[in-house]
Structure 1
Amino acid sequence: MGRAPKVQQKIIGLIGGMSWESSAAYYRIINETVRARLGGVRSARCLMWSFDFGEIEALQHAGRWDEATAALIGAARRLERGGADFVVICTNTMHRMADDVQAAIGLPLLHIADPTAERIRAAGHRRVGLLGTAFTMEQDFYKGRLAVRHGLDVLVPEAEDRAEVHRVIYEELVQGRVMPASRDAYRSVIARLVERGAEAVILGCTEIMLLVRPEDSPVPLFDTTALHAEAAVDRALAPG
């Protein structure tokens, strides 16, 4: 019998540093998944441009989205020049400018919402809760894609809960702080979404997976970090 054909991996271009805690999780999940699929000491071919998140966070909260968009486009172009075959933005919130980034480069951009929605639909869910930054929960760039492209009915927490979810992300998780009291708060937010009819909950900020576990929710959780990273491996290992 002949030897199995060697898999020629595509090069994954990662735009990270928003925050580096979740970018480290992307790097780990991508490499663990490649090793699990290819065996031995195999690992991913990837490039990463990592931001100083302090600079990006300041732009976000000042509403200076044009400058943030320009920064992401610059990062994507660096990855393109470096030889990446496609681009992954390692954060949910900064998908606010995903269409602008895609228009500015000659590479495909793997949108974080798409593999998440596909997995939710495959599991038979239609009405889902969404946790994330205030930008992700309140603006339409993310909810709208889930609804229009994938037919999902998206619920977000009430205003007070949204404020607490956002606070924990920026004051704790992106600083590497995982607090038991905040886990309890998120459990309560999830429970209220379920009371309103959520059949599943999207962890729509890439740091939330540091805090919330499956046992913290009475309904299935869909972790965008893991789903996006695994989808990047799918694309990297796909033939052609």
Structure 2
Amino acid sequence: MRTIGLIGGMSWESSAEYYRIINQETNRRLGGVHSAQCLMYSVDFEGIKRLQHEGDWNKLAEAMREAALRLEQGGASFIVLCTNTMHRVADAIETAVSIPLLHIADPTAEQIKAAGFHRVGLLGTAFTMEQDFYKGRLQQHHGLDVTVPDEDDRRVVHEIIYKELVLGKIVPESRQAYRAIIARLIERGAQCVILGCTEIMLLVSDEDCAVPLFDTTTIHALAAVNEALKVD
């Protein structure tokens, strides 16, 4: 079994889901009292959030490089960055360490294509929805047609993430707001919807959407188990 190196804390609410899913799936596959062999470096999200909203991606890249290096030095076989937004600095992580980074967008896109979809709606932080690091990878590496909510809806999605979900607050009115935003994406032609923030799965489930949802938290965590149990 390879050792999974998790960079977490962004937020710890979703990192806990990663840990749960990875261990449950490892036990399901191996049986007995098996669990995953993993390391987690969990950051203080307050500073990360501030730098994100200040646009200081250089400092954020430095923080992620340090976390990845600590995991590599601790014996991790590969890196799992437990957040969509911070894949904005994925290149910095990949150049800092000699072990692979399991990019969250890749297994997500592969599942979408395997299901026969090509027009996807994307929910996430404003950074993920508006910048090219995530949409661009889906489009250029995987040939997907990506639609994001309009400006007002993007603001609502973003604020609910940072004011509620990262704190573990589940508000029924926010679920209704997300349902309406998802419905508008479907009206614009989305065949499926990517939950492109690792906290959104705390709020939204399949029953909230008329088309398939692709939960990046679960997909990424299961991909990590695949990598950890892969036979050379």
Q: TM-score with structure 2 length normalisation? A: 1.00
CA drift at 1:40: 1.3
Q: Deviation string for 1:5-27 (max 9, x for gaps)?
A: xxxx0000000000000000000
The structure 2 residue matched to 1:164, chosen from 156, 162, 185, is 156
Q: How does 1:55-204 map to 2 (within 5 A)?
A: 55-204=47-196
Residue 38 in structure 1 maps to residue 21 in structure 2: no
> Aligned residue for 2:202?
210
Whole-Å separation in 1 of the counterparts to 2:115 and 2:31: 28
* Percent identical: 66
Q: Deviation string for 1:113-171 (max 9, x for gaps)?
A: 00000000000000000000000000000000000000000000000000000000000
Q: Which runs of 4+ in 1 moved over 3 A?
A: none
Aligned residues: 232
> Aligned residue for 2:219?
227
> Aligned residue for 2:230?
238
1:182 partner letter: S
Whole-Å separation in 2 of the counterparts to 1:200 and 1:145: 17
CA drift at 1:104: 1.1
Any idea what SS the aligned residue of 2:141 has?
Answer: helix
CA drift at 1:222: 0.1
Superposed CA RMSD in Å reads 0.4
Larger Cα Rg: Structure 1 or Structure 2? 1
CA drift at 1:37: 0.3
CA drift at 1:100: 1.3
Residue 27 in structure 1 maps to residue 19 in structure 2: yes
CA drift at 1:56: 0.4
> Aligned residue for 1:3?
none
Any idea what SS the aligned residue of 1:111 has?
Answer: coil
> Aligned residue for 1:54?
46
1:213 partner letter: S
Q: Deviation string for 1:81-125 (max 9, x for gaps)?
A: 000000000000000000111011100000000000000000000
- Structure 2 unmatched runs, 5+: none
Q: TM-score with structure 1 length normalisation? A: 0.96
2:17 partner letter: A
2:105 partner letter: A
Whole-Å separation in 1 of the counterparts to 2:13 and 2:49: 14
> Aligned residue for 1:18?
10
Whole-Å separation in 2 of the counterparts to 1:176 and 1:220: 24
